[in-house]
Every structure is written in structure tokens, then in C-alpha cells.
């Protein structure tokens, strides 16, 4: 009888300890999943904001390659180029590679007729398929492609826009969209965070260079508040943050294009809210008004739902015949 009781107690204890073990396992798995989720979340946010973590590391090299090859070969995003350099050379830091290798990678990523990137899926087939490192942007990962579906399509983009400056204009790219910037503008931490990743492309050019509408559209905002073409540093209090700005909503896409830092009193007569603008129409001139350190055009595109887009993905660099003064 005593033996039977002992056996029963033993079975109950065994069952209880198994039960506790099970609970502990479940808790451990839950904790691991939640932890992993937050890591994944952070990485998604970082990618969205900067395309490439620590992109300032590559920015200078990329800009010089872009300035040299943009009109000859078209556009390859920095993220794409760095990924290709890393994958094909199996290195963490493409800065260690020569300019020639950067240029070669750029050209290899371009369809010369389309002046656009070769579809990502085709490039993925070209590079080593088992190349994978959590520090690198994994453009071949289906999840990543799905997340960036708008940009990394498997087919060629239709290219609705033209470049906002005539191609023979002397200009150079001084800052790219989503470039990480730690410029101290004397702002609060919160404001500083919002400007930490550049919202558009900066095209430096001389003062009063003509700027043209990149699309057919409607003027949604004209704000010329600054009468003198002086940089932010030279302004007296209160300093003008915004500078002279025109916004145009494109008819074919509903995207909103912002042209900023424009030259004082340079807006064409047609720049009136609600007016129709045609692609290639002269709209205003390059200046350095607002938060600016030199004459340049800040070109920015946002979708109508407010998503920041990379303007260069949508520009047809072959189109150079429809500028109208
Ligand atoms: Zn800018």
C-alpha cells in the first residue's frame, strides 16, 4: 500500500515538473521571438530612413561616381551599388576599392538603352547566391524585395519625369536622398532627428540657373518669402528656414514635387496655385534661400500619401528635348 502511494506521488511530481518545464520553454520561446521582432523592426526602420546603414561611409564615393556617370549610363542607387560591390568582391567596406571598380559596378548594373537599373532579380542571379551577412543589405531576400516593392520591381519602371535642369547645365550632386546627415542646425533633438536623413536630392548649380518642371501637373504651393539670395548663416534674426519653395502635384502619378531654396522673385508668372504646368516648363531659378549653404536646387518627391520617394528612380535621363524657356 505504502509502495503504491509512493509511486502515485512520484507520478504526480513527474507530471508537475514536466508541466513547469513546458511553461519555461514556452516563456523562453516567446521572449526570443519578441526580442527578434524588435531587432527586425529597428532594421526595417533604418532601411526605410537611410536605405543603407551608415551610408555616410559611402556617400562621398557614390556621389562622385554618380556625377560622372549619371547622364551617360543612367541611375543606380547607392544601396544597390554597395550591395553589388560587397557581393561580388566579398568585402565589408567598398571604400577600400578603387574608383575604377566603382565605375565598373555602376555600368554593370545599368541597362544602357533604358538608362535604368537592370532588374534586381537579374542582378541577384549574377552574384553569388549564398552571399549573406546581416550587416549587408540583402537585396535578394524576397522579404526585402516585397518591402521595397515600389522601387525594386522585377520589370523596368515607367519613367514619368525629366531632370529639372538642362543637361548642359553645370551642376553636381552634393547630397542624395536619404543620405544620413549630422548637420547641427541648432534644432531640438526631435527636429534634428527629422532632418537627419536628407529628404531629397541637392543639385548644386550657379545662382539663377533655370529650373524646369519635371512633370505635367498642378501648382499646389508657391511660397516666396525671402527677397535676398543669401545663405542661412548670413541671414539676420529671425532666420528663414523654409526659403523660397514651389510644389507641383504631377498629373500622371499624384506625386508631389518640391523645388526648394529658389532664387528670390524668380517664379514664372504661371506659378499660381491651381494653375496647370507642363513638363519641361520653366518655373523658377536656382538660389540659396532658406536653410542652405550655397546655391543649389533641392528636389524632393513625396507620394500623395506622404511617402518619401527617390526622385531619380523615376527620371528619364535620355529625355533632353522638351525644356521650354
Ligand atoms: Zn536638400
pLDDT digits 0-9 by tens, 76-107: 988 889 888 888 888 878 888 999 999 999 99
- Tell me, in angstroms, the distance from the centre of ligand 1 to residue 308's CA: 13
The tens digit of pLDDT for each residue in 274-315 reads 999 999 999 999 999 999 999 999 999 998 888 888 899 889
- Tell me, in angstroms, the distance from the centre of ligand 1 to residue 178's CA: 10
Domains of the chain: 56-147 (no CATH), 172-314 (2.70.70.10)
Q: How far apart are CA 79 and CA 94, in angstroms?
A: 12
Q: Reduced to 3 DSSP states, what percent helix, strand and coil does the chain have, rounded to the nearest 5?
A: 35, 20, 45
Q: How far apart are CA 260 and CA 273, in angstroms?
A: 16
pTM: 0.79
DSSP string, 40-88: HHHHHHHHHHHSSTTTHHHHHHHHHHHHHHHHHH----HHHHHHHHHHH
- Tell me, in angstroms, the distance from the centre of ligand 1 to residue 183's CA: 12
Predicted pLDDT of residue 125: 83
Q: How far apart are CA 212 and CA 10, in angstroms?
A: 85
- Tell me, in angstroms, the distance from the centre of ligand 1 to residue 89's CA: 32
- Tell me, in angstroms, the distance from the centre of ligand 1 to residue 67's CA: 16
Q: Where are the beta strands (DSSP E) in 156-267?
A: 172-175, 201-204, 210-212, 217-223, 245-250, 256-260
Ligand 1 is a single-atom ion; what residues have CB below 5 A from it? Answer: 202, 298
- Tell me, in angstroms, the distance from the centre of ligand 1 to residue 72's CA: 24
- Tell me, in angstroms, the distance from the centre of ligand 1 to residue 204's CA: 10
Amino acid at each position: 500500500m505504502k509502495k503504491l502511494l509512493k509511486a502515485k506521488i512520484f507520478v504526480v511530481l513527474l507530471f508537475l515538473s514536466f508541466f513547469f518545464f513546458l511553461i519555461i520553454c514556452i516563456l523562453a520561446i516567446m521572449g526570443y521571438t519578441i526580442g527578434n521582432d524588435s531587432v527586425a523592426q529597428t532594421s526595417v526602420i533604418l532601411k526605410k530612413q537611410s536605405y543603407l546603414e551608415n551610408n555616410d561611409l559611402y556617400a562621398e564615393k557614390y556621389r562622385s561616381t554618380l556625377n560622372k556617370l549619371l547622364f551617360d549610363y543612367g541611375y543606380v542607387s547607392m544601396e544597390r551599388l554597395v550591395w553589388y560591390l560587397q557581393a561580388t568582391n566579398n568585402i565589408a567596406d567598398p571604400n577600400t576599392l578603387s574608383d575604377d571598380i566603382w565605375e565598373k559596378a555602376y555600368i554593370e548594373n545599368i541597362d544602357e538603352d533604358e538608362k535604368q537599373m537592370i532588374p534586381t532579380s537579374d542582378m541577384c542571379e549574377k552574384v553569388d547566391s549564398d552571399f549573406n551577412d546581416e550587416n549587408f543589405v540583402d537585396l535578394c531576400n524576397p522579404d526585402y524585395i516585397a518591402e521595397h516593392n515600389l522601387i525594386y520591381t522585377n520589370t523596368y519602371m515607367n519613367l514619368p519625369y525629366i531632370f529639372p535642369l538642362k543637361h548642359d547645365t553645370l551642376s553636381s550632386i552634393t547630397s542624395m536622398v536619404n543620405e544620413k546627415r549630422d548637420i547641427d542646425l541648432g534644432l531640438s533633438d526631435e527636429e534634428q532627428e527629422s532632418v537627419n536623413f536628407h529628404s531629397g536630392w541637392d543639385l548644386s548649380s550657379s545662382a539663377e540657373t533655370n529650373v524646369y518642371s519635371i512633370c505635367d501637373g498642378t501648382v499646389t504651393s508657391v511660397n516666396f518669402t525671402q527677397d535676398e539670395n543669401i545663405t542661412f548663416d548670413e541671414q539676420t534674426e529671425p532666420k528663414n528656414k523654409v526659403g523660397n519653395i514651389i510644389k507641383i502635384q504631377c498629373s500622371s502619378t499624384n506625386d508631389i514635387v518640391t523645388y526648394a531654396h529658389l532664387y528670390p522673385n524668380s517664379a514664372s508668372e504661371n506659378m499660381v496655385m491651381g494653375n496647370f504646368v507642363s513638363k519641361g516648363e520653366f518655373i523658377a531659378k536656382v538660389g540659396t534661400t532658406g536653410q542652405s549653404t550655397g546655391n543649389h536646387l533641392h528636389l524632393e518627391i513625396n507620394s500623395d500619401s506622404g511617402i518619401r520617394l527617390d526622385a531619380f528612380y523615376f527620371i528619364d535621363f535620355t529625355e533632353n528635348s522638351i525644356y521650354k524657356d
